[in-house]
Structure 1
Amino acid sequence: MVPHLITALNGPINELEQRLLESTPAIERWFRLEWMEHTPPFYSSVDLRNAGFKLAPVDTNLFPGGFNNLTNEMLPLAVQAAMAAIEKICPEAKNLLLVPEKHTRNSFYLSNVGTLVRIFNQAGLNVRLGTLDPAIAEPTPLALADGSSLTVEPLVRNRGRLGLKDFDPCTILLNNDLSAGIPSVLEGLHEQYLLPPLHAGWALRRKRQHFRAYEEVAKKFSKLMGMDPWLINPMFASAGELDFAEGQGLEALQTQADALLAKVRRKYKEYGIQEKPFVVIKPDAGTYGMGIMMVRDAKELAELSSRARNKMSVIKDGQEVTEVIIQEGVPTYERVNDAVAEPVVYMMDRYVVGGFYRVHADRGADENLNAPGSSFVPLAFAESPHLPRRGEKPGASAPNRFYMYGVIARLAMLAASYELEVTDPEAEVYE
């Protein structure tokens, strides 16, 4: 299945797909050389938007949920990638402690945890679940939608090590994005591998740092391809010292949004795109599609209702929004059964392991699809996304389209590795 593009403005993307297919050996060699210098995140997922005239990542998650939306056919790829990742980090690993989100009674999220347990079991590890929820004081079974269950247990800290009762892991895998802050029980673990590192969590991570790194990666890659980096890079700006509830800082935010809209208009004019550009304002930290606003005219920011300001002011775990990223809006013109869709690509170590389309029947091409009412349609990775078919017409072949998506997603993953190096509190380059 290749969802159809409903726009006639697909010339640049077809040209991009053709260029990527023709340059596959050079692209794969370029990635190999980059991975010799940089360490990929343990796992990640990337939201992409295909406008026909532009294809770009709009969000990179370093604590991905949603593994339950991958098909059974994709799981062998995930198991192989998990084996490769673990062998690099801790070849003698036997026990893996998986620490999920605290809201583990969400059935969809629990299915994601169950899939992760299955992947790492098949990779040869004993997997048990430890919870950060202080209300859980003893092993507690949680029912899954398919009738099976998972057991979460209270964490046990013993000096420099973290585990469970009668369970001492070599590696601790977080599937909790630390939006509410870094729990003390996770700090100072010098004798075990903690993945991803604490500075990958939203307590410290900022989207502006990620997209600054992605801009650098996109420029390098575009130089290799002989193309305009704008075709794969969403321009952005940022604003801080905001208090949406009180209306403070909105004037500076309006100025930044206006300047970015002007830049996008110039690119649209350069490429003959007749559409009206927009920007997306979202929290500089955090996920779950909360606190997001689309703006076509910066004057809208001076006229926000109190309800709109309140919606922007607080996100997951009650965290107040004081910093935002203003990102060039990339519409998505892909459709699945006439509903707006965007591809989400999943990776482990440096490998693409699968993905799906996030579909929303009640949202438009320029709206956030990560919202209640969305559904998921697996990408048709019947064949490896690393095996494109040359000689086929651009846009007509699933392997070719998904290879292109996999390349852009891996660029975002590479940007995350750059980002984590720069923001590592133990690195000399830390700012």
Structure 2
Amino acid sequence: MSASYRRILALPGALAFTLAALPARLAMSMSGVSTVVLIAERRGSYALAGAVSAAGLVSLAVLLPLLGRLVDRYGQARVAVPSVLAAVVPTAGLLLCVRSGAPDWTLFLCWAASSTAPNVGGMVRARWAHLLRGDEAGRHLANSLEQALDELCFMLGPVLAVLLCRAFTPETGLLTAGALCTAGVLLLAVQRGTEPPLAPASAGTAGEEGTSGAGRPAGGRGSLRVLLPMFLATGVVFGSMEVTTIAYTDATGHGSLAGLLLGLVAAGSCVSGLVSGLLRPRRGPAARLLGGVAAMAGLMLLPAAAGFFGAGPAVLAAALFLAGSGTAPTMVSGMTLVQQLVPAGRLNEAMAAAVSAILVGISAGSAIGGAIAQRLPAGAGYLVPAAAAATALLIVVTGARRLRAAAPSPAERRTTDRAVPAAACAD
């Protein structure tokens, strides 16, 4: 397994930008939990803490595509550095307002204003897409590695945040997250040798016919109408799974195991992401996406069945690990399609829009899962991620023809190339 990943990490600058971005990615997985713990400890209200955290997610979902558009237009370093530094003042303001007893509305304002950190994962994936342009197998491997790193950060980040907040002061988690995010973005920004060059202006504004900038196939905008709802539904899976697992373990007297069980979901996704990267893609990304979403929908039935029958923690742990293993192939194939279909001049914006859709889905899933857990038996909440995964499958099935037309498989591309007369390529 390691040899395949060593191959792509040995490319010039690849290991450097991958390691440089890790602190920022870890920070992003810490910030939400750190904020909740901080406000709950200092203000004594989990309701206020959850509401402030949700406001930050909404603000981030709105700002990420806008920042992505600026990155596409002006470059990663020129946008990422000022945007991450701009978050320092409102984050400090949040810490001061919480500590000084300022009105609640100031917490919402400060946390929303601090959501200017760029989409680091998207910028790293854009570097891979540029570095591995024309190498579909390599791009698939890189996206699998990125998904595994995302899951690893989301396993470790919340645990580290809680440990820091409990061991020191409630402010320590957020302070650490802010320092890590700033350091990671700055370290990534100085890796100028692997920063993708700015695409021509026409690359970001090409129409739907023919090819759209930088030689990319047309149809990216239409395909995003399929991919973004799919990402949103997948976000609902993530958000509802988290809340439902916490509620279920509390109801069954195993509340202390909630963090471990949620870590197993991320672990399953991490393992499947690494393994799927080793499988040489023989089908196009559209077909792989369909297979990944179908697997996710099927595997999400396992925790639903465990919850319905009141399974103990051991059975639920196995079900959650297997359910998590179905999410990585979906995310890898989805991001690969975004990279393949969207013009180079809009790549960061499109990937940021995908992340925004996931964030909105997580917020909605948390709200729906919490409402179900409040009104129905705790295990019933696992029906929400199962239903969301089934919705994602329905979206991909209904849009499969559009995705296949926009992103044909390698065999289909070879057939198409042979069908084009040589004279037609003379221009």
The TM-score bracket by the shorter chain reads under 0.3
- Tell me which protein shows more strand as a share of its residues: 1
Highest RCO, 1 vs 2 (Cα 8 Å, sep ≥ 6): 2
Q: What TM-score, normalized by structure 1, do the two folds share?
A: 0.22
Q: What TM-score, normalized by structure 2, do the two folds share?
A: 0.22
